[in-house]
Chains A and B, each alone.
Chain A
Amino acid sequence: MRTIEVLRRSAVSIPPEATVRAAAEIMEESGVGALGVVDRGRLVGIVTDRDLVRRVLATGRPADGRVDAVMSSPVVTISADADVHAAFALFGRHAVRRLAVVRDEQFVGMVTVDDLLVDLAADLSDLSRPVIGEILFGHHDGPVPALP
Chain B
Amino acid sequence: VERNVRYLDGAAVELPSKGACGMHASVGDRIVIHAHRSGEPDRDGEIVAVQADDGGPPYMVRWAESGHETLLYPGSDATVQQFHSSDVVRRL
Using CB atoms and an 8 Å cutoff, list the residues of chain A in contact with chain B: 4-14, 22, 25-26, 29-31, 35, 38, 107-109, 118-119, 121-122, 125-126, 129
Contacts and interface: CB of A to CB of B under 8 A. Distances in A.
Contact of A8 (B35, B66, B68, B76): B76
A10 B6 contact: no
B24 to A, nearest CB: 15
Contacts of A122: 6-8, 15
B36 interface: yes
A14 B70 contact: yes
Contacts of A7: 18-20, 75-76
Given A30-B43, A31-B43, A122-B15, A13 B73 contact: yes
Contacts of B74: 10
B73 A107 contact: yes
Interface in B12-46: 15-20, 33, 35-36, 40, 43, 45
Contacts of B40: 31
Interface residues of B, number: 31
Given A26-B70, A29-B65, A126-B7, 12 more contacts: A7-B20, A10-B74, A11-B73, A11-B75, A12-B71, A13-B73, A25-B68, A30-B63, A31-B33, A31-B43, A35-B70, A38-B71
20 contacts: A7-B75, A8-B15, A8-B77, A9-B36, A9-B75, A9-B77, A10-B73, A10-B78, A25-B68, A26-B68, A29-B45, A29-B65, A29-B68, A30-B70, A31-B33, A35-B70, A108-B73, A122-B15, A125-B6, A126-B7
B35 A31 contact: yes
B33 A8 contact: no
B39 to A, nearest CB: 12
Of B36, B45, B71, B76, most buried by chain A (CB within 10 Å of CB) is B71
A34 to B, nearest CB: 12
A118 B75 CA distance: 16
A23 B70 CA distance: 10
Contacts of B75: 7-11, 109
B29 to A, nearest CB: 15
Contacts of B6: 122, 125-126
Nearest to B19: A5
